[in-house]
Amino acid sequence: MPRQCEFCGKKVAFGYQYTYRGLAKSKGGVGRKVTGKTKRKFEPNLQKVRALVGSSVKRVRVCTRCLRAGLVRKPGRRSTVEAKPRPEAVAPQETPPAPPAPAGEATPETPET
């Protein structure tokens, strides 16, 4: 299994680690000099995560940038205790407010003065 993110394809990159000596010119020295160059690897920060791939749950290697970006859909948690069906709470029906009366007409609830 390659060290590669399943979503973005990020993988191992190669480069060098440079070793310097001397004082920078801005600090009063004669400048920094490279005294060594060693090959090294830059490995991606991969995590093994259970994720929904299609309709099945699989363990995949994903980089942390994809995890934080929300590209991975995790499966829901299964309960070990069987849940009891709850009775639906019946909410009392609210009566809708009466529409406003047209201007100039008196409503039956308000007496005319």
Give the mean pLDDT of 5-24: 95
C-alpha dihedral sign at 86, 88, 90, 96: positive
In the predicted model, what is the mean pLDDT of the chain? Answer: 85
Pairing label, strands 46-53, 33-42: unpaired
Enumerate the domain spans of the chain. Answer: 13-69
Q: Are 11 and 5 in contact (CB under 8 A)?
A: yes
Residue 66, φ and ψ in degrees, nearest 5? -70, -35
Whether the pLDDT of residue 80 is over 80: the answer is: no
Q: Are 10 and 62 in contact (CB under 8 A)?
A: no
pLDDT single digits (tens) 16-28: 999 999 999 999 9
Instruction: Quote the pLDDT of residue 61.
Output: 95
pTM, full prediction: 0.54
